[in-house]
Structure 1
Amino acid sequence: MRPEASAPFLPPLATKVPRRRAIIGLTPLIDVVFILLIFFMLASSFLDWRAIELNVPAQTATGSSAEGALLVEVRSDGVRLSGEPVSLDELATRVAARLETTPDQRVLVKPAAGVALQQAVTVLDRLAVSGVSDLSLIGDGAE
């Protein structure tokens, strides 16, 4: 047997044609990102629609605006109801119990100097959820 006959058939070497690399166009990608950006800007809401109604206490010569009202002090060391330290849950429970007897009970909230705004808003929100309809925010000068 001849050695040429037992060798497998090999095709002749073809000349390699250089392949062009596929170029990815950035224009469609930018269009998609832009459309997604517009969609999420229009679909999302950045405003919180919850609102807390506050009343401005009336300034009278006799000072009767605070008479009979519950005074809630928001301090850096905690919350006080009529001078007594209470937790937020206890505050909500006591105010709700008071509202059962007098539904038009006035509640005055007095944040101390240096108290974080979020802490005062948390107290106001808890009182509003408890059912307080006459809620006033007072400063240091008003009592």
Structure 2
Amino acid sequence: MARSYVTPDDAEEDAAVDLTPMLDVVFIMLIFFIVTATFIKETGVEVNRPEASTAEQKDNVAVLVAINADNSVWMDGRRIDVLSVRANIERLHAENPNGGVVIQADELASMKTFTQVLDQAREVVPGSQIALATDDR
């Protein structure tokens, strides 16, 4: 009968913990969270929104349009011309057809600029999917 001897080197190898399955699980969880995360789109400009007591939370927003106090229009962090709002909304709305449009107009912005942006947004999406962002103070 042959005896098998365990050397100290063999004992250390047997006691090692295999971390590969744990790393696999961590990477799978990371991929899951990245895929299921919703990313917040920013307009790229600070807007002082008007106050409203009947403000409601809008879910599933695809396009954010901001109108500054100096009547400049901002989308996706860049300033755009008022006449190109429709083309930009069409492009962004094509990425998420079920999403709505939220217009963040500064309380000092002119009604003319807001109306132009609203009209161009209504040409792309139904009126029920368009909202004005307000503060509920």
TM-score, normalised to structure 2, is 0.49
State which structure, 1 or 2, has the greater radius of gyration over its C-alpha atoms. Answer: 1
TM-score, normalised to structure 1, is 0.47
